[in-house]
Each structure stands twice: as C-alpha cells, then as structure tokens.
C-alpha cells in the first residue's frame, strides 16, 4: 500500500474542508446532490461514449495500482538479469528454463523462454519490441481516459452553473438581493465540484499512472536488452554495466553503493 498517496488524498480533502470552516463557511452549504449529479453524471456519461468498456471496467484496478507500491524497481530487474546471465554462461541457455519458473514478471519470463526455445535473435527482438509497443499503447489509453475526465469535470461544472443560473433568474421572485446571492452560491457549487474532481482525483491519478507506466517501460527495456545480451553470450559484468547506463545518475549511484541497496532497507 502506498501510504504517501493516501496521505496526499487525505490532506487535499481535509485542508479544503478546513479552509471552508476557517473562512466562516457552513460545510453543509457546499453540499448539493443535484450539482454532484450533473458533474458526475455528465462526466461518466461522456466517458462512456468516448472510451472502450474495457478501460472503464478496469477503473478499480487502476485505483489499486495508484495506491499500491510500484513493483517495477529497475535495480531488482538488473540484478535478476545478471543472475540469469551467470547461469547461462555456466550451464548454457537451456538451464534458464528452470530459472524461469521463479520469475514473477510475465514479460521477463516470456523473454527467457524465447531464448530457451532457440528463437532467432532478430525475431526475439521483434517480438519483444512489439509487446512493449502494445503495452505502451495500453498505458496511453488509460492515462488519456483520466486526462479526458479531468477536462470534462470542470466543463460539466460550468454547465451545471449555467443551468443553476437559468433556474435562478427564471424565477422573478428571486429579485431580493439576499436571496439572489444565496441562489448564485448554489449555482457555483457545480463549478467547485468539477474543479475539485479534476485537480484532486483525475489529474493526480493520470500523473501517477503515467509515472508508474514509465517505470514499467524502463524495466521492460532493461529486460529486453538483457535477454538479447544473454542470448548473444555477453559477459554478465558487461551486461550489468550496459543495463546500468539506462538508469538515471542517482539510481546508478545507489547500485554502486551496496550500503544503499533497496533490498536491505
């Protein structure tokens, strides 16, 4: 569980409520079921039109990913690939078939089995690149879904405000300035809801999924490069150095210093 993300969500909601109370407002004045129905209903309905059902059905899965620790740690992938390279160098590629059963990552496991089955190197690379491209396309579709939601929320918030103003001004009995002010406040709640959903939920979810997706793509690239190098019979130390060059400088520093190894934390 990603406690940091949950704390962030709690702070965003709690501080907004705190600001309302400290400003002398009544929290119940910001509760409007019709406004919520317009914003949520309109956003969800538009997303259903624009998005495949598969993406919407996986929303609970996306939320689980957002509030869970990322399983994609490049250092661990490099360590695992180097160990596979050592086994292959000592006992041959066929010896990797037994090691493959201990690999949790489906992409890396499938990559190992490709070279165990003696698939030609060029074909192995084409197969893995095709899989990576497909995974990247899937990631783009998911982040686009939440980006659309972030854009639609404020749009329907404004639409709800316009609807509220029309209803308010259509009744001449609201000519009293005090009553008019109350009606205006209620109309603006939908804009608040739309902005809140976009900036506290949809945009952060999209950003988090994109960050995790980038981590996954890095690990997939490391896996592909490592497997191709193993198949070519390269030295494990050379493979390790080559894979480390894919990492940002700060990650390379962590790997160079065993005292900072994440596995020991």
Distance of CA 19 to the CA centre of its chain: 29
Q: Please give the chain's pLDDT, 265 residues, in tens.
A: 678 888 888 888 888 888 888 877 778 878 888 888 889 999 999 999 998 898 899 999 999 999 888 889 999 999 999 999 999 999 989 989 888 888 989 999 999 999 999 889 999 999 999 999 999 999 999 999 999 999 999 999 998 888 878 777 766 555 566 556 666 767 788 899 999 999 999 999 999 999 999 999 999 999 999 999 999 999 999 999 999 988 877 666 555 554 444 433 3
Q: pLDDT at position 88, please?
A: 92
Residue located via tokens 């993300």: 5
Q: What angle do CA 48, 51, 53 make, to 5 degrees?
A: 75
Taking Cα atoms as reference points, which of 151, 152, 174 lies closest to residue 164?
174
CB burial string 143-161: b at 16+ within 10 A, e below: bebbbbbbebbbebbbbbb
Say if CB 245 and CB 221 are below 8 A apart.
no
DSSP state of 70: -
The pTM (predicted TM-score) of the whole model is: 0.82
Residues 123, 136: Cα–Cα separation, whole Å? 20
Q: pLDDT at position 114, please?
A: 93
Identify the three-state secondary structure at position 265: coil
Residues 139, 118: Cα–Cα separation, whole Å? 31
C-alpha neighbours within 13 Å on the C-beta side of residue 157: 18
Q: pLDDT at position 259, please?
A: 45
DSSP state of 51: S
């Amino acid at each position: 569980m990603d406690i940091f993300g949950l704390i962030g969500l709690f702070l965003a909601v709690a501080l907004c409520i705190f600001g309302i109370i400290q400003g002398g407002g009544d929290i119940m004045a910001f509760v409007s079921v019709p406004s919520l129905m317009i914003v949520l209903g309109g956003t969800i309905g538009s997303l259903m039109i624009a998005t495949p059902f598969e993406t919407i059905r996986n929303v609970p899965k996306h939320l689980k990913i957002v509030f869970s620790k990322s399983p994609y740690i490049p250092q661990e992938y490099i360590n695992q690939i180097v160990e596979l390279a050592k086994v292959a160098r000592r006992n041959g590629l066929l010896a990797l078939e037994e090691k493959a059963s201990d690999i949790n990552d489906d992409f890396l496991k499938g990559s190992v089995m490709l070279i165990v089955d003696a698939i030609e190197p060029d074909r192995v690379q084409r197969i893995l690149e095709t899989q990576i491209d497909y995974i990247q396309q899937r990631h783009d579709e998911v982040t686009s879904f939440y980006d659309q939601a972030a854009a639609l929320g404020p749009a329907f918030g404004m639409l709800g405000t316009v609807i509220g103003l029309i209803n308010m001004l259509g009744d001449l009995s609201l000519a009293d300035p005090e009553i008019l002010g109350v009606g205006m406040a209620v109309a603006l709640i939908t804009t608040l809801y739309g902005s809140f959903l976009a900036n506290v939920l949809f945009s952060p979810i999209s950003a988090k999924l994109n960050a995790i997706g980038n981590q996954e793509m890095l690990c997939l690239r490391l896996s592909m490069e490592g497997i191709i190098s193993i198949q070519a019979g390269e030295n494990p130390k050379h493979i390790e150095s080559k894979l480390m060059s894919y990492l940002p400088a700060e990650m390379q520093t962590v790997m160079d210093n065993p005292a900072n190894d994440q596995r020991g934390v």
